[in-house]
Chains A and B, each alone.
Chain A
Amino acid sequence: MISVTTSPRPTMTRDSRPFWEACRQRELRIQRCRDCGTFRFPPLPSCVECASLATDWVKVSGKGTIYSFTVVRHAVHSAFSVPYVLAIVALPDAGDVRLTTRIVEWDEARLRVGAAVEVAFEKLDEEITLPLFGLA
């Protein structure tokens, strides 16, 4: 019987496993096409530009900027108590890749589109560490 307060775990696929294994090592790795150099996220077996199947997982700095955010005020899952902040974070050293994430350690005055953030890994369990982000 799964407790309703258990945080939902990511479903891992063959294509996404390297992402999660890197997070477990507290590294942010993003796919880059070995043929044309295009970064992509979410993980795919092939390049979104040239369809090449040749892929590298590149370690990126973890520094980003807020592309958009929202303060969630209405709870929809018991694992997440309101208010909490969701964001789309752009990773400038990974092409036009953006991640969806949660912002930890926030205050309303500093939350804005364009704000600088940095990855803040948070261990969920032995297998999964989440790449959350904090205001820089």
Chain B
Amino acid sequence: MEALKDRCAIVGIGQTEFSRDSGRSELSLAVEAAKAAVADAGLRLNDIDGIVKYTMDSSGSETLLATALGLPNLTYWGEYGGGGPGSCGIVVQAVCALLAGRAKHILCYRSMNGYSEARLGQGASGRMSLGMALEDPNADGFQVPFGLISPPQWYALIANRHMAEYGTTSEQLGAIAIAFRRHAQRNPHAQMFGRPLTLDGYLAGRMIADPLHVFDCALETDGACAVVLTTAERARDLRHRPAYIMAAAMGAGPRPQAGMPSWLYRPVISETAGRWVAPQLYQMAGVGPEDIHVAEIYDCFTITVLLQLEDYGFTKKGEGGPFAAEVGLDVDSRLAVNTHGGHLSEGYVHGMSHVLEGVRQIRGTSTGQVKDSELCLVTGGTPNATAAFILRR
């Protein structure tokens, strides 16, 4: 398990603008983000010989992107299913491919016209079947016909259960939304830049599915993000301080289910698969959650973050609400979370923007920079089988 510790690094990051209408194809966005990441790494496009993408990415196949980038010789390509977990899942896969010597510089990315085209927030009623996209036939069989259709509804059921089990409150969920909106006020790339949020504003937000208001939900965004990974040896000669991957893991737990919608059938729903990823990370890295002071946590909803604060060991199961409210998740607090504003306030690129922000924290270039951040946790989508990694300087 220790075979991958510190042996690979993220050496380049790139993104497009985040907007409600890119006016371009998803492939065009992917090309722009990829070129930016390669330039940021101090590499040339011809250096890229591996590509890993999310299965759900509809911008085109890996070989189509290779064609659009003029790449002469791809020797590794692959994809990672399940949706949001892909942000970290593709990094795990890229690390494995690098360590197996299958490629030298691997491009990982996500591109989506997530507002102007298929909106994931609309679930099955959008322009795609979300159940099919998530490879979960139970959604179309046992959920959609009843009116259980969209991600906020799934997470509202999870949130209400957590509230019933542990006494979690709306104000505690609101504390998460408000923290990320505060981070976004420092980030000119954030879609919510210039639009602060108070608790009153949060509570007055339109109710989507009780208890989730509009501000509990991720934005829907047109944009793309990309990173370049290579081995630690090659990373030393490139442009920026490498963000070393200290640990990376995938975890599913028992009864992992077909996909995200089917999590609702598990004996326990008020937890995420992060519970099975975290121990692997901490054992691999030789650190614990008490050593981590900044985390970019997948936030499709506020409740998603609350659950992961518990499942990644920052606080006990059931205490995620009080923890978020007391700690404030601020830059100078015990644990800064989603320092770019996250999905809730920067933009939603299916978790990939969290990978970029993690790298910025390691480099010292974040708009919400945590001082002396040696380590940064980045988590992939939840609640079902997922992946995560720890970056270090």
Contacts and interface: CB of A to CB of B under 8 A. Distances in A.
A113 B146 contact: no
Interface string A79-107: 11000101110000000111111100000
A97 B262 CA distance: 12
A68 B164 contact: yes
A80 B208 contact: no
A74 interface: yes
A42 B262 contact: yes
A12 B141 contact: yes
B122 interface: yes
B137 interface: yes
B367 interface: no
A87 B147 CA distance: 10
Contacts of B141: 10-13, 16, 42
A52 to B, nearest CB: 16
A86 B147 CA distance: 7
B269 A10 contact: no
B47 interface: no
Contacts of A12: 141
A79 B148 CA distance: 12
B206 interface: yes
Contacts of A74: 152, 206-209
Main secondary structure on B side of the interface with A: helix
A50 interface: no
B137 to A, nearest CB: 6
Q: By DSSP majority rule, is chain A's interface helix, strand, loop, or mixed?
A: loop
B168 to A, nearest CB: 13
Contacts of B149: 76-77, 80
Interface stretch (B153-161, B333-341, B346-354): B153-161
A10 B142 contact: yes
A100 B146 contact: yes
Contacts of A70: 153, 156-157, 160, 209-211
B142 A100 contact: yes
B255 interface: yes
Interface in A38-96: 41-42, 48, 67-74, 76-77, 79-80, 84, 86-88, 96
Contacts of A72: 147, 153, 156, 208-210
Q: Specify which of A11, A67, A113 lies most central, judged by the most chain B CB atoms within 10 Å of its CB.
A: A11
Contact of A100 (B143, B152, B156, B206): B143
Interface range on chain A (Cβ under 8 Å from partner): 35 or more
Contacts of A76: 122-123, 125, 149-150, 153
A77 B145 contact: no
B140 A86 contact: no
A77 B147 contact: yes
Contacts of A33: none
Interface string B246-277: 00000000010010001011010100000000
Nearest to A78: B125
A132 B267 contact: no
A69 B264 CA distance: 11
Contacts of A42: 138, 141-142, 258, 262, 265
A45 to B, nearest CB: 13
B4 interface: no
A84 B147 contact: yes
A41 B147 contact: no
Contacts of A96: 267
A9 interface: yes
B144 interface: yes
A88 B263 CA distance: 11
Contacts of B218: none
B153 A99 contact: no
Interface in B144-185: 144-150, 152-153, 156-158, 160-161, 164
Given A70-B153, A72-B147, A88-B161, 5 more contacts: A68-B158, A68-B161, A76-B153, A113-B160, A130-B145
24 contacts: A10-B141, A10-B144, A11-B137, A11-B141, A68-B269, A69-B157, A69-B160, A70-B157, A70-B160, A72-B147, A73-B208, A73-B209, A74-B207, A76-B149, A76-B153, A77-B125, A86-B153, A86-B156, A88-B161, A88-B269, A98-B264, A98-B265, A100-B142, A102-B146
Interface of A: 7-13, 16, 41-42, 48, 67-74, 76-77, 79-80, 84, 86-88, 96-102, 113-114, 124, 128, 130, 132
User: Which 6 A-B pairs give the minimum distances between C-beta atoms?
Assistant: A70-B156, A113-B164, A68-B161, A80-B147, A73-B207, A77-B125
